Structure formats: C-alpha cells, structure tokens
Amino acid sequence: MYNRIYNFSAGPSMLPVPVLEKARDEMLNCRESGMSVMEMSHRSKVYDNIIKEAEAALREVMSIPDNYKVMFLQGGASMQFANIPMNLLKTGKADYIVTGQFSGKAYKEAQKYGDIHLAATTKDENFTRIPRQEELDLRPDADYVHICFNNTIFGTKWNYIPETNGVPLVADMSSCILSEPVDVSKFGLIYAGAQKNVAPAGLTIVIAREDLLREDLPEYVPTMCNYATMAANESMYNTPPCYPIYICLLVLNWIKELGGLEAMKKINENKAAMLYKCLEESKLFNNPNDVASRSMMNVTFRAEDDEINAKFVKESTAAGFSNLKGHRSVGGMRASIYNAMPTEGVQALCEFIKKFESENL
Ligand SMILES: *Cc1c(COP(=O)(O)O)cnc(C)c1O
C-alpha cells in the first residue's frame, strides 16, 4: 500500500515496515510529550525512558551478561577501528585477522597505536573464505584478537567462534548483529554500526566486558573515545544519537514480537537457503564463496560475462529490485538480505533470477 520496493542495499538498508509505521504514528507527539523524539532534550524524562528501554531490550534480546557494558555511540564502526586499539592496548600487542575490506581497514588503523600482527588473511583467495582455526597464528601475549564477523562486501561469515585461549576476542558485527543469537560471553568486545540491521545511520553499538575498560588511558586519547567514560555516563556524556536509539528500541521490540533471535535466525536461514539454492541451480550465475563461509546476510553472485552482470543490474532495477549492484571493489551483484527484508522479497528475487536466466542463456 506504500508502493515500497525490495531494497537490497548493503547499508543503510531496509527497516521493518511496522517500525516505520510506529515511528510515523509517534512522529509529532511521542508518548504524550507533545513533541517528536528529534525535538526533545536527551535529559528529559521521556527520553531517559527511551534510552533505558533500548539498553534493557538489547540486553534481553542478545542475552548480554551483567558484566558487559552497553554503549550507544557515534562515529560509525570506522571510528571503533581507532577506539579499540586506543582503549584495549596495554602491552601494545594485538592480532588481526583480515577477511575483507573492513577488517583490512581496522588492521591498518590499529597500526598507528601499537605492534599489530596479521594473524591470518585470505586475501590471496579474494576473501572467498574464512580461515580455519589451524591457520590462525595467534600470539598468547596479545591484548586482543580482532575479527570481522560478517564480511559485508565479500559475503562471508565466521561460522565458528575462533579459540583465542583467553585473549579477548573483538568482533565487528556491523552487518550481522541481531540476525541470530550469539554467545556474547565468548567475546571481549562486540561493535556494530547500526545502519545495516538495527537503526538509521548515526548510532554505533559497543558491547564490552567491564574488566577490559579503564579510564586511565594515554593523554592523547580524546575523552569522547574513552569507552570507560562513555560507559560510566551511560552513553550520556554528551548528546547521544537520540533518534537512531529510539528506532533501535522499536526494532528490538519488533524482534521480540517475532519471538527473539532464535525466531529471527530461522527466518534468515530460510531466506538465505532459498537464495543460495537458486544460485546453485543457476547455469548463469554463481556465488564464488566457500560453502562453509557463506554469509546469511550478504549474498554475492555473478555471471562470468560482465555485460550480463550489467544487464542484470539494469533490468532488476527496472523490475523494482534496488541496490543489487555489487560493491565497486568486487563487481557482480550482491543481495543484502538483512532482518527487515521480507521472505517474499527473496522469493521474488529468485523468480526474477530464473526469468532473467531463461531469457539470457
Ligand atoms: C558498514 C560496515 C562498516 C563501516 O561502518 P560505518 O558505520 O560506515 O563506519 C564496518 N564494518 C562492517 C562489517 C560494515 O558492514
């Protein structure tokens, strides 16, 4: 009824329609405040409830243990590429596993702050897979190990949690947070830009084990980058990204109504399986990635002939499927099928792929 199209954007991406409807209904007068969330003081009672409910809902949905702090920050996941070494380096050593573009950027940024070791990479294989445990060259005295849990651009995912033998594991979950349950206790720190699966751009979620945070960081570390300070002030050291936090709450409530992350996972698994099966059956397109490393959120595919890829992007756009063009560094196509992409959208895409194939083989 809204004439919405199927939007496969990698980020910012689709939000659930019931969330947008609720935001619309509350737009001009939220919770009888007589104003929109965008207009209210972050220190007001109404907003204080909103941010507290958002944190409580995130804790509930992700089963975050009590010894973890939740922070609602700004600066995107990219800001955390610097914040993480600034906050977590003690001896100065950290290990990075590079499985795509974002983990490569994180690795490069960290080098400004310490002795950063490349523990494994699959760059030589075009990032088509995640390294196996036995391929990881981890240092027992590192302050932390950094991974990117879901590689948004290449469409791969860590389908196991690496064993780091007590060294805290830090994970960029920007493009997979809230897609399925994760055992938070296995991680020292989890971070995510919200614009893929949680909220509009502007919010970055950081979930960190309490004992890893400390206020006495080197003098050069900006106060705004000090996790301990931000956590001690309950994300209110300064003005937080108020509206994205509010939408985050609505999204979490939507997930709870669906039955939580177990239910979310079933829906996501079903969508991804449908699309991968369609690509396996295709004689025109294929997904280049190792089956064991497949992402449930970002599915890449391409035809050998680049003219066919260009034609597919053009025709799919005309047919109401937007943003299927792959990242400029990879080419081909990429369907981002985050939580908010309805099953019918994936079904329709599979039908379109079959139709396109019958016309172009
Ligand atoms: C999108 C994305 C980023 C970049 O996020 P920003 O919020 O734009 O800084 C980093 N890591 C991953 C895995 C992403 O998907």
C-alpha 174 – ligand 1 centre gap (Å)? 6
C-alpha 224 – ligand 1 centre gap (Å)? 19
Ligand 1 atom closest to Cα of 148? 13
C-alpha 11 – ligand 1 centre gap (Å)? 8
For helices 260-281 and 242-258, the axis angle rounded to 10 degrees is 80
C-alpha 32 – ligand 1 centre gap (Å)? 35
Do 64 and 127 share a domain, yes or no? yes
Count of structural domains within the chain: 2
Which H, E and C letters describe 44-77, residue by residue? CHHHHHHHHHHHHHHHHHHCCCCCEEEEEECCHH
Do 232 and 287 share a domain, yes or no? no
Strands 204-209 and 156-157: unpaired
CA 314 – CA 119 distance, rounded (Å): 40
Ligand 1 atom closest to Cα of 11? 1
Name the domain boundary from 240, 257, 274: 257
Which of 187, 129, 179 minimizes the C-alpha distance to 162?
Answer: 187
CA 137 – CA 152 distance, rounded (Å): 24
C-alpha 78 – ligand 1 centre gap (Å)? 6
Do 144 and 107 share a domain, yes or no? yes
Ligand 1 lining (C-beta closer than 6 Å): 11, 76-78, 102, 148, 152, 172, 174-175, 193, 196
Q: Which of 175, 198, 337 to mutate to test the pocket of ligand 1 (most atoms within 8 A of CB)?
A: 175
Do 73 and 160 share a domain, yes or no? yes
First-to-last CA distance in the chain?
35
CATH at 242:
3.40.640.10
Token duo for residue 167: 């060294």
26: containing domain: 17-257
CA 23 – CA 259 distance, rounded (Å): 21
C-alpha 77 – ligand 1 centre gap (Å)? 5
CA 309 – CA 332 distance, rounded (Å): 6
Ligand 1, atom 3: closest residue by C-alpha = 77
Residuewise pLDDT in 10s, the chain (361 residues): 899 999 999 999 999 999 999 999 999 999 999 999 999 999 999 999 999 999 999 999 999 999 999 999 999 999 999 999 999 999 999 999 999 999 999 999 999 999 999 999 999 999 999 999 999 999 999 999 999 999 999 999 999 999 999 999 999 999 999 999 999 999 999 999 999 999 999 999 999 999 999 999 999 999 999 999 999 999 999 999 999 999 999 999 999 999 999 999 999 999 999 999 999 999 999 999 999 999 999 999 999 999 999 999 999 999 999 999 999 989 999 999 999 999 999 999 999 999 999 999 8
CA 96 – CA 126 distance, rounded (Å): 17
C-alpha 100 – ligand 1 centre gap (Å)? 12
CATH at 10:
3.90.1150.10
Ligand 1, atom 7: closest residue by C-alpha = 76
Do 204 and 285 share a domain, yes or no? no
The answer to whether residue 243 is domain-embedded is yes
